Structure 1
Amino acid sequence: MKLNHHVGRAVKKEFGDWQLWWSRAVVVGAASVAGLTVVAFSWLSDHAVNLFFQLYERFWWAPLIWTPLCAAAILAVTLRYVPGAGGSGIPQVMAALDPAVDPGRRGLFVSLRLSAAKIGLTGAGMLAGLSLGREGPCVQIAAGVMLAARRFLPKRTSVTAHGLLVAGGAAGIAAAFNTPLAGVMFAIEELSRNPEERNSGLLMAAIVLSGVIAVSIGGNATYFGIIHAGQIGLALLLPGLMVALGSGLAGGLFSRLLIASLGDQTRDAPSRLRHAHPVLFAALCGLAVAGLGILTSGAIFGSGYVNTRDMLAGTESTPAVYVLFKFVATWLTAWSGVPAGIFAPALAIGAALGNDISQLTAYPHAPELIALGMVGFLAAATQAPLTAFIIVMEMVDGHAMVLSLMACALVAASIARLLSAPLYPTLAKLQLQRLGSVDAHVPATSPQAAPTDNRSSSP
């Protein structure tokens, strides 16, 4: 009798509260829309890159004019109308999650308006041939979609704006890489600081749903193809250790360089030029990227996923300078201030590093070292080893490399911590400085600045 009474109460509590089910419906619906938005954005990005390469193949010199003009135009629009859309997008989501940010001012960092702007401006960056990825922007885009659903939730709900931001940001990663598990890990490792949100089945389900939608529409193929690993043995130990150390050092240096470039605006002449004439500086960065692209026969243009996929398939033979040139091109693109992610370029840099070491050591199974390079550099650059590990693990055919990938990610991230502060939390602190910049533009007798105030530029 007691058992029946307990079951009855549980059923009544579960199905008798319409606000609970309405909250679930809103979250699931928003996650579906976020997944579809990321899929549409991915389609737009791919077509933009293809159009750029059609231009480049017809007129090899065109990027010397087209790329700097586009970079300047993109940054001018960003600074004038949507400064919160600049950069990767992950620091903005982390800034919006900061407890010090008033709920009414989250719109400075994440909103539906910024999501729409991010789609258009990042797509324009792809069309320009800049060295950028779409994964970081997907985090801000999906977070903006999820946060907009807050207005449809009932008053009595356990779903918070903070939880929607975490779920949205992670859903962006899940949908961008067709890896729902990577989205969940990204939420735990990078975004969520609240144990309740980590354990929220509803929010985790929203993340997975976005990834499943991307898989359903785009197919179950991984973004970079399948890694066919050979028999793992002691022969991998020395070259694998070289890749782990090399990718850790390179990724840590990359992170440190980005933080130094985007932070101090008066340290050196280029930084002072960037601070005084940001649009001109973006044009110069675009010109440098175009020059590097022409020197490498177009290899460094775009996100680099085609080169990475071809290296894994054994059909791409990149020169040794590709690592350096892709590294510099990605840094310059980020330094210019245009909306740009680094996940895909980081994977391309790591893949080329692993490929170079396989040639240097004459290791017969290059895909194994390429995979280690990918996970090592991404883990070191972002200091998110578990997310990097899962993203690359999803590409491996079988489980032979699981332990090797995990060890490489942890070693590389540990080395990077010795060289650099965490990239995204540091850039999030720079984003928070915009709150003071907005307040400085508001007269003492005026009400608090609106969350969509666009008069200050983001780093």
Structure 2
Amino acid sequence: MPSRTRSRFSSQRARLMANRSLITLVVYAFALAVGFLAVGFAMVADYAAEWNIDFFEEHTAWALLLPPIVFPLSVWLINRLFWGAGGGGIPQVIKVIRHPKPRLTDRLLGWRAFLGKLILTPLVLASGAAMGREGPTVQIGAAMMGFAHRFPGVARLFDSRSLIIAGGAAGVAAAFNTPLGGLMFAFEELSHKKAMRRTSSLLMAIVLAGLVTLVLQGNYSYFGYSNATIDWSEEWVTILSLGIFAGLIGGLYGRLMIMVVSPKGRIGGLRARHPYWFAAGCGVIVSAMAWVFGAEVLGAGYTETKMALQDEQALSPMYWLVKFTSTLVSFASGAPGGVFSPTLSIGAGFGHFYANLIDHEAAPLMLLAMVGVLSAVTHCPITAFVIVLEMVDNHELVMPLIFVSAVATQVSKRLLPSSIYQLLANHIKVSFAPVPETPAEPTSTADGNKPAGTNQAAGS
């Protein structure tokens, strides 16, 4: 090769490498933005949930009026303005990952869904919904990284599917301060056999989002630090039985969630035909439960779970069943809010109940049940194990946690054929029909959302 040709080739290669490095830095900048946004969103959402608890204690009668008003109002706003913002957000992300078409991406991860999640999730949590912010954070992160794909240089180097997977996983890493959990969530739940291009760069983007949380909020564990332990050799029967029960609870929980969104069932059909009245009815049920059982009905259960793990406050015997029901009802309303964090609270509540039943120390069984129920719902045993392990920074329970997550997942498969998020994604139906000239009653979808002139996606 002549020296002039070789020099030109080297120059072109250098420019190409420089452009790739610059584009990768742009992607990293978006990942950092996801981290900052997730931290800010968490602060607002947590403040909203805490405000509701205080408001309930000081003005119970007024607080009980909030869910029947806010639930249908949020559904109406989603249908009319914030298309794609209903439910939790993870199924919407999975739906787009399966079919990364521009129109579908714009509907489920566009600016309307993005702003809707940011605005309406704190509003719904302030009303007392038994839901969390983690699922919405996944959708927000995926939408943010999806926006990055609109840059021509980024689009040449990264495909939209891989960016969305990285954004959703970055949301998990930042929401829980669990970088490893975010990585596992990307591979085990979001990608779901879909290959990621330029994996090393995108994995670094996920870690960067988690590091933002670490820098801004310190090296904290989501549920504090726990030194709980259990003798694996002597208490294997307890561990095995807890895994079986957690699998049954998680499987039933997921099965009921599918039931309330499926338009073919009685409940799902009623939800599809009368979305606003149905959402109001769900709000009435949540308020009635709060009136009977107290503040433990409201919110995702983060505070109660953390205090119980630290032995600062005991959970009531039926806490897990109350949270199970209130979360299911809140989810059924179609209002924005996720079930990831409440699922952990349900597991913690059952572990506490089981410990009292067999006269055992509560903390280790709470942690095991948290992993078990989360594994049963998501069918992602490794993700559940890693996330809970990072949440409490306890390495004494590694083997029992792995065992319970595996057992619970296998038991759950007898009731729930796949991850609840994958199944909910199957129920998302999006129509791109043109807006009719004469206003007409739009066709309902599995999520009960009926936007003006075009059908809204289902999901949680």
TM-score (norm 1): 0.90
Within 2, Cα distance between the matches of 1:12 and 1:438? Answer: 44
Contact 2:81 2:112 in 1 (8 A): no
- Give the alignment of 1:340-359 within 5 angstroms: 340-359=337-356
Within 1, Cα distance between the matches of 2:121 and 2:234? Answer: 42
CA shift in 2, pair 1:198/1:232, >3 Å: farther
Q: Which residue of 2 aligns with 1:21?
A: 21
Q: Which residue of 2 aligns with 1:267?
A: 265
CA shift in 2, pair 1:163/1:428, >3 Å: same
Within 1, Cα distance between the matches of 2:123 and 2:311? Answer: 31
What is the count of residue pairs matched by the alignment? 437
Q: Which residue of 2 aligns with 1:333?
A: 330
Q: Which residue of 1 aligns with 2:410?
A: 414
Within 1, Cα distance between the matches of 2:251 and 2:322? Answer: 17
Q: Which residue of 2 aligns with 1:379?
A: 375
Within 2, Cα distance between the matches of 1:155 and 1:390? Answer: 31
Within 1, Cα distance between the matches of 2:350 and 2:134? Answer: 21
Within 2, Cα distance between the matches of 1:328 and 1:231? Answer: 30
Contact 1:388 1:409 in 2 (8 A): yes
> C-alpha root-mean-square deviation of aligned residues, in Å?
2.3
Q: Which residue of 2 aligns with 1:449?
A: none
* TM-fit CA distance, 1:397: 4.1
TM-score (norm 2): 0.90
Q: Which residue of 2 aligns with 1:255?
A: 254
- Give the alignment of 1:180-329 within 5 angstroms: 180-193=179-192, 196-197=195-196, 200-230=199-229, 232-263=231-262, 265-268=263-266, 270-329=267-326
**What CA deviation, in whole Å up to 9, does each residue of 1:233-264 have, x standing for no partner?**
4343222222211110000001111111111x
Contact 2:229 2:397 in 1 (8 A): no
The 3-state SS of whatever aligns with 1:61 is helix
CA shift in 2, pair 1:428/1:133, >3 Å: same
The one of 409, 422, 427 aligned to 2:424: 427
Q: Which residue of 2 aligns with 1:438?
A: 432
**What CA deviation, in whole Å up to 9, does each residue of 1:304-334 have, x standing for no partner?**
0001101101122222221111101111111
**What CA deviation, in whole Å up to 9, does each residue of 1:183-240 have, x standing for no partner?**
1100100112466517611000000100110121122111111221235343432222
Within 2, Cα distance between the matches of 1:376 and 1:172? Answer: 22
* TM-fit CA distance, 1:442: 7.5
Q: Which residue of 1 aligns with 2:36?
A: 36
**What CA deviation, in whole Å up to 9, does each residue of 1:396-455 have, x standing for no partner?**
444221111011111111111110132111211211x21xx3237689xxxxxxxx9972
* TM-fit CA distance, 1:280: 1.2
The 3-state SS of whatever aligns with 1:214 is helix
* TM-fit CA distance, 1:267: 2.5
Structure 1: 5+ residue stretches without partners? 1-8, 444-451
* TM-fit CA distance, 1:113: 3.2
Contact 1:115 1:142 in 2 (8 A): no
Contact 1:182 1:391 in 2 (8 A): yes
Contact 2:30 2:144 in 1 (8 A): yes
CA shift in 2, pair 1:236/1:82, >3 Å: same
Q: Which residue of 2 aligns with 1:3?
A: none
Q: Which residue of 2 aligns with 1:390?
A: 386
The 3-state SS of whatever aligns with 1:243 is helix
CA shift in 2, pair 1:271/1:114, >3 Å: closer
**What CA deviation, in whole Å up to 9, does each residue of 1:71-129 have, x standing for no partner?**
11111111221231111101111111124x52333111112331121011111111011
Structure 2: 5+ residue stretches without partners? 1-8, 438-450
Please, which moves more after superposition, 287-296 or 39-48?
A: 287-296
Please, which moves more after superposition, 350-359 or 105-114?
A: 105-114
